[in-house]
A and B are shown apart, each in its own frame.
Chain A
Amino acid sequence: MTGDPIRLDLDETALSADHCTKCNVCNSACPVMPVTDLFPGPKYCGPQSQRFRPGDPVERWVDYCSGCGACSRACPSGVQVAELNARARARAYRERPLPARLRLRNQLLSRSELLGRLGSTVAPVANLALRLRPGRVVAERLLGVHRDAPVPAFAQGSFRRRFRRLPQPERPIRRVAYFHGCTTSYYEPWVGEAAVRVLARAGLGVDLPPQRCCGLPFISNGDFAGARRLAEANLRALLPVARAGTPIVATSTSCSLTLKHEYRSVLGLRGPEWDELAASVHDLFELLRGMVWEGELEPPAGRLAGRILYHGPCQLRGHGIGLPAFELLSGLEGADVAESGVECCGVAGTYGLKTEKYEIARQVGEPLRARVAEHGADVVACDSETCRWQVQALTGVRARHPVELLAEAWE
C-alpha cells in the first residue's frame, strides 16, 4: 500500500457501536435504570454518546453505570455497551477530574492489593477500625465510603503462605496454575484452600505462579493506566504458564473475566499474547465441568447440606459459560439448590461502597434480597466476592463461594 494511510479506529469495541439499532433492549436489561434517574441508561451512555466521541462533551452521568454488563449480554446486535461505558467513564474522570476527596477515595478503592497487604499485616487492629461505627463515620465524611457499605474483614497471614501446607495429589493427572486474586490473598484465604482441595480431589496438582491484582478495581474506578500496569505484570508472569499449556484457574469470576475479556475489550490491549492469556484462563467450575464433559472426571459426588440459593454474579454471566457451579452443585446427593434468577446484587465491585451510590446499589439489590427471604435459604452461593459481601449485608444470610460447599461435600 502506498500513499497517505487513512487512519481508522479498528478497535472492535469502538466499532461495535455502529451495530446499534436503537432497539432499547439494553435499557430493558439494565438494573440501575429502574432505580435512579441519575443514569439515563446504557443506550444513551453507550452507543448513542459514542457518536460524539472523541469530541468535547464529556458526560458525567456515565459514572452512574455500575459496569454490571447486563446490557452487553442483552444486546442482540453485539454492541459492547458496558465496555464503551467503562471507557467513557475513564475519559470523563481524566478530562473533568472529580473533587480531590472522591479522587482519593477511588484511588484507595482501586488498590485492593495494597489495602490487603497493609490490612492483613495488622488484621486485628484494622478489622476493629472497620467494625467500629466512629471509624466508619469518619471514613464516610473524609472519603465518601458509605458507613453501612459491606466491607470484608482482613485475614491474618496471606493465602500464599498457607498454600505450602495444603496437600496435593501424589500423582496429578495434570497441573493447573491458580489465580487467587486479592480476596483469597488477604480476606478469604479459605476460598483458596477449598479450591486447592477440590482441584486435588479432581486429580490436579496446583501451582501458584507469581501474580498481581487483576486490575478490575482500577478499571471500575477509571484508572486505566494503573490497570494496564497490572495487566502487563500479569501478562509477564502468566504468559509462560499459558504457553506451557497449563490452564490458569480462578475462583473469583470477576478476576477471571478481567483476564479473559476486560484487558482486551476495555483496556484495548491487543495482540496474540493477550489472546493466548485469555484462552488459558478458566473459572474453576468451568474447568471441572469441562473435564466431566470430556469424560476425564466422574461428576463430583457427596452429600450437600443445607438449603442453598445460588446467585450467578454478573461477572460470571459475562463469561458466557452458563452456570457451571450451579450445575455441579445441583448434581450432588441431596442437593437443595435453586437459582436466584435475579440479574444483579447491586454492588458491582466498588460501586455500592461509595456514598453517592450506596442507596442505588441497595435498591438494585432489593429483588435479590426479596428472593433470598422468600426462598428461605440457609446459604447463598455466589462466585464473586463483593457480591457475597453485599448479599450478606442485604439479607443477613451467610454467603459462601460454591467451591467451599463443594469442598465440604466431595469426599
Chain B
Amino acid sequence: MGRNGPGYDVVVIGLGLAGLMAGLAAAGRGARTLVVGRGHGTLRFRAGTIDVLGYRDGRLVAAPGPEVAALAGAAPEHPYSRAGADLAPSLDAVRGAAEAASLPVDGSLAANLLVATAAGTLRPACLAPASLAADWAEASVLAVGLAGYRDFQAELVARVLPEAAARHGLRLACRALTIDVPALHRRHLDGLALARGFEAAGLRREVVAALRGHLDGVSLVALPAVLGLGRAGEVRAGLVRELGLPVVELPSLPPSVPGIRLEMALTAALRRAGGVVQVGPGARVGPERGEVRWVELAAAGHPVRVPAGRVVLASGGLASGGLALTIDGAFVETVAGLPVPAPEAVDRLYGTAFLSEAGHPAHRAGVRVDARLRPVGDGGEPVRPNLFAAGGLLAAADRALERSADGIACATGWRAGQEAAA
C-alpha cells in the first residue's frame, strides 16, 4: 500500500483489546497508525486475562488450542474461523507487550488456567497475569479483605471458593480475614487508589504486619487485585518475600486494576511501534460508500477529517455501542453503517432468563466478514474494499457462553491490523 498519502496509512477505531491489537499489528508492520476511540476501551472493566475458549456446548474446555481449531472447522462463520484458527501469533504479541511492561503472563493454548472471580468462583482462562494464577489444588487459602474497601468481600470468597473448586474436582480450604490498617483510614478507596497506595512501602508494611499471626497453616494468601499498577511486579514480589507465602490476586469491581495494567502495557507497546493513540472523540467513516478515504472525528467545534488509507473497525458489540438495537428489533452498526443481518431464524432476540445457559440470540448478531475480515453484504461481497472489522463487532459468536471475547479480540484484531497494513 502507498505510504506517502496524507494522514495515516491505517486508522483503527476502538480502544479495546481488538483495537489495540489491530494498531499494534499495523504499526509493527511500519504503517503510520492512529488508534482512536470514544473514551477508554473495555479493558478497564475486564480482569486482564485472555479468555480464548472456556466452554464449548456447555462443556468446560481443558485445552483451548485444539478446541478452537475444532470450533473453527465446524462453524465457518465463527470469528475464529474467519481469523484463521492459529491464535499463537496474536497471543505471543499480547504476552510480549505485557512482559515488556514487567507483567509476566501464565498459561498457554495447551491448557486453560483456573482463575478466581470477584465472587469467589473459578473460571477458565487461557492466559492470565501471573499474579492471578495459582495452584489451587489442596491449597489452604487465606482470603484477605481490606476494611473500608467495599468492592471486595473476603467472607464471600471464603464461602464460595471451596465449593467452586470442588466443582472442578479440586479440594481446598479457605478462611476469611479482613484487616484494618491505619494507612487506609479515612481514605476514599477504590481499586485504583489502593493499587497506587500499594506502590508505597508504608501500606505494604502495615498489611504485612496485620497479616502476621494469621498465617498458621496457610499455603496461599489471596488479596484483591489491587497490588500495584505500573510497579505491580515489584509490589507482589515484595509481599511474597515478606509473607514467605505465595500471593494471588482476586479480581474485584471496576475500575479493574489488572485490566488497566494490560491496557497500559498494550498502549506502551503501540507507542513504541510508532502508533498514535487518541482517547476521546467518536468517529465515523466517509464518504458514504465505496472506498473509505477518511475518518471523521467528532472534534470540538467542528468535525475533523483524518485521511485514512485503510480503516479497522474495532468499535465493539452491543455493550460497547459498536452495535445498537433499534426499538423495532433491527441491528445497526453505529460507525460505518454496515449491514448487520438479524441472527439466524429466531423468534425472539432475548431469552427469558438473564443468565440463561442457552444464551441470547441477540449476542450472536454482528457484522459478517470475508476471509480478509472485510465486512460483507448479503451476497458475500466486501462492502468497502479497504475496511476491516475485528472484535466484539463480529457476528456468530456468543462470547459470554464461550468465554471467548478476549481471544476473538486478539486474533481478529491482530489479523485485521496485518491485513490493513499489508
Contacts and interface: CB of A to CB of B under 8 A. Distances in A.
Nearest to B267: A341
Interface string B39-54: 1111011000000000
A292 B196 CA distance: 43
Interface in B258-304: 260, 271, 276, 278-282, 297-302, 304
B150 interface: no
Interface stretch (A21-29, A176-184, A199-207, A222-230): A21-29
Contact of A320 (B7, B300, B305): B300
A23 B37 CA distance: 17
A341 B40 contact: no
Interface in A283-332: 286, 290, 292-295, 317-323
A341 B300 contact: no
B299 A320 contact: yes
A28 B36 CA distance: 18
A320 B255 contact: no
B188 A37 contact: yes
A354 interface: no
A34 B187 CA distance: 11
B321 interface: yes
Given A292-B6, A322-B34, A286 B40 contact: no
Given A24-B255, A27-B255, A28-B44, A278 B300 contact: yes
Interface of A is mostly: helix
Nearest to B298: A320
Contact of B301 (A23, A77, A260): A260
A27 B6 contact: no
B280 A320 contact: yes
B307 interface: yes
A293 B188 CA distance: 47
A76 B186 contact: no
A287 to B, nearest CB: 11
B192 interface: yes
A14 interface: no
A279 B300 contact: no
Given A278-B301, A286-B304, A318-B300, A34 B39 contact: no
A24 B6 contact: no
Given A28-B44, A73-B280, A293-B6, A320 B190 contact: no
Nearest to A37: B188
Contact of A341 (B271, B280, B307): B271
Question: Which interface residue of B41, B192, B193 has the most chain A CB atoms within 10 A?
Answer: B192
B255 A25 contact: yes
A33 B193 contact: yes
Given A34-B193, A281-B301, A75 B39 contact: yes
Question: Which interface residue of B34, B42, B281, B297 has the most chain A CB atoms within 10 A?
Answer: B281
B40 A28 contact: yes
B306 A76 contact: no
Contacts of A261: 300-301
A78 B282 CA distance: 9
A24 B190 contact: yes
Contact of A41 (B39, B188, B280): B188
Contacts of A341: 271
Interface in B34-88: 34, 36-42, 44-45
B341 interface: no
B299 A74 contact: no
Given A259-B301, A279-B302, A322-B276, A27 B40 contact: no
A40 B38 CA distance: 24
Interface residues of B, number: 41
A112 B187 CA distance: 37
B320 interface: yes
Nearest to A293: B6
**In which size bucket is the chain A interface?**
35 or more
A23 B40 CA distance: 11
Nearest to A281: B301
Contacts of A235: none
A320 B304 CA distance: 8
A261 B281 CA distance: 13
Contacts of B190: 24, 27, 41
A40 B188 contact: yes
Interface in A33-77: 33-34, 37, 40-41, 73-77
B151 to A, nearest CB: 10
A74 to B, nearest CB: 5
Interface string B328-362: 00000000000000000000000000000000000
Contact of A24 (B254, B271, B305): B254
Contacts of B41: 76
Nearest to A79: B39
A257 interface: yes
A278 B300 CA distance: 8
A115 B26 CA distance: 50
Contacts of A320: 278, 280-281, 297-300, 304
Contact of A321 (B39, B304, B307): B304
A293 B329 CA distance: 41
A278 to B, nearest CB: 4
B297 A321 contact: yes
Contacts of A279: 301-302
A293 B307 contact: yes
Contacts of A33: 193
Nearest to A28: B255
Contacts of B37: 76
Contact of A76 (B38, B187, B304): B38
Contacts of A28: 40, 44, 192, 255, 260
A73 B300 CA distance: 11
Given A27-B255, A293-B307, A322-B34, A317 B280 contact: yes
Question: Which interface residue of A28, A73, A279, A292 has the most chain B CB atoms within 10 A?
Answer: A28
Contact of B299 (A23, A41, A319): A319
Interface string B235-255: 000000000000000000011
Contacts of B321: 76-77
Contacts of A317: 279-280
A292 B306 CA distance: 11
A57 to B, nearest CB: 18
A74 B300 contact: no
Question: Which interface residue of B190, B260, B280 has the most chain A CB atoms within 10 A?
Answer: B280
Question: Which interface residue of B39, B187, B276, B300 has the most chain A CB atoms within 10 A?
Answer: B300
Contacts of B297: 320-322
Interface of B: 6-7, 34, 36-42, 44-45, 186-188, 190, 192-193, 196, 254-255, 260, 271, 276, 278-282, 297-302, 304-307, 320-321
18 contacts: A24-B190, A24-B254, A25-B40, A25-B44, A25-B255, A28-B192, A41-B190, A76-B321, A257-B300, A261-B301, A278-B300, A278-B301, A286-B304, A293-B6, A293-B306, A319-B301, A320-B304, A322-B297
Given A23-B44, A24-B44, A24-B254, 8 more contacts: A27-B255, A73-B39, A278-B301, A281-B301, A319-B299, A321-B304, A322-B276, A341-B271
The 5 closest A-B pairs by CB, nearest first: A260-B301, A76-B39, A320-B281, A320-B299, A28-B255
